[in-house]
Amino acid sequence: MASDTAFKRIFKQFKSSSGSDAIQKAIDPSTESGSACFKPFQLIPLPEGLAANHLAEVGLHADLGFWKAAELSSKPGLILIRNAFTSLGQYFWVQTCMKSFPTLPHRSNLGGASVLGKVGTELANNAELCARLRWITFGYHHDWDSKVYSNQERSLIPRELAQLSRIIAGRVGYADYEPEATIINYYNAKTTMSGHVDTSERNLDAPLISVSLGQTAIFLIGTSKPSDPPEALVLRSGDIVVMSGPSRVAFHALPRVICNVRYSKRAFQEEQQQQQDATFELVEEIDPLIVGYMNAHRINLNIRQVD
C-alpha cells in the first residue's frame, strides 16, 4: 500500500482515538443511526436434516429468530450477522481457541513442537504464553512471506470449526462452501491489524467468514483501492462478518481494540444452568482464567475457502 492513502489516514485516526471517540465516529449497528447504514439481508433457511442440536453444539442459537443479518449499503457484499451466538457459545469458542487449538499440527507464532506440544493444556494457565500468542493457522497454513498456499503445508480443519463455517456460509447463500484455511488472531488492547486485501486464495468467489469474540473492535472496510476511504464499523463479541462479492477483495483493517465489556464467571454459570443443550454439554465448567482473558482480549476467527 502507498505511504499515504485515504485508507491509511483513517486507520491512523482510529488508532489514535480514545475508545469512546472511536465508537462515536464509527458505524455502530446497535444504534438507530448505525442501523440506518445497513439494508436488510434475507438469511437462507437451514437445509432439511440439520437439527437444532447441530447449531447448539457449535455455540449458535438454535432458534433462528435470534439471528439478525444486514448488508452495509455502501459496501456491497459486506454482510453483518448479529445475535447468532449464545453467550455460552462465545465462551466455548474462546475456551477452544485457548485450550484446544494451540496444539500440533496447527501452527502458531509461538514456534515449534517444544512449545506447541504443551500449550494446549498449559496455555490458559500460563500468563507468559497468553501474552505472546498472536496467531494460529490450520488447514492450509498461510505463508506470511510468500502469500502462497501449498498442498504440502496443510493440516485438518477442526470438525467443529468446519461445521460452524458451513452453517454460516449456507445461511448467506453458499451451500457448497468448503472451509480449507483458518487464521485465528489474538488481540490485546494495543494490537492492530494493518490494511490489506486477501487474494492469496485461488477461489475469490467464495466468501471470507470472520467471527469476533471477546472485546469490542473497530473494523475498517474499503474497496479494492487503498485510495478510497473506508467505512468504520463497531464489531462486538459474537458478530459475524461475511465478505462476499466486491467486498471479498476489499482492503480491510482493524485499527483499534476497545476493552469496554466486562464478563463474569457467575453470568456464564447462570446461563449454563438455564441452557440444557449441546452447548451446555461442551462447557463442563467455567474457567475464571478464560473469563479473565476475555476481559482483556479479542479473538478473531477467519475462515477461507482456498480452491
The residues that bridge with 221 in the sheet, in sequence order, are 231, 252
Distance between CA atoms of residues 96 and 78, nearest Å: 27
Query: What is the per-residue burial (b if ≥16 Cβ within 10 Å, else e) of 192-217?
Result: ebebebbebbeeeebbbbbbbbbbbb
* Residue 54 annotated as binding site: no
CB neighbour list of residue 208: distance below 8 Å, 6 or more residues apart = 198, 242, 243, 244, 248, 302, 303, 304
Distance between CA atoms of residues 151 and 170, nearest Å: 26
* Cα–Cα nearest to 26, from 244, 235, 238, 241: 235
Q: Are 282 and 158 in contact (CB under 8 A)?
A: no
Distance between CA atoms of residues 203 and 69, nearest Å: 24
Q: For the chain, what is the radius of gyration of the CA atoms?
A: 18
* Residue 252 annotated as binding site: yes
Which three three-digit cell numbers place residue 95? 475456551
The burial class, CB within 10 Å (0-12 / 13-18 / 19+), for 158 is middle
Which residue in this structure is represented by grid cell 458451513? 166
Which three three-digit cell numbers place residue 284? 463442563
Which three three-digit cell numbers place residue 68? 439478525
Distance between CA atoms of residues 191 and 256, nearest Å: 7
Q: Are 266 and 91 in contact (CB under 8 A)?
A: no
Distance between CA atoms of residues 214 and 292, nearest Å: 10
* Residue 142 annotated as binding site: no
Per the annotation, where are the binding residues?
196, 198, 252
Per the annotation, where are the binding residues for Fe cation?
196, 198, 252
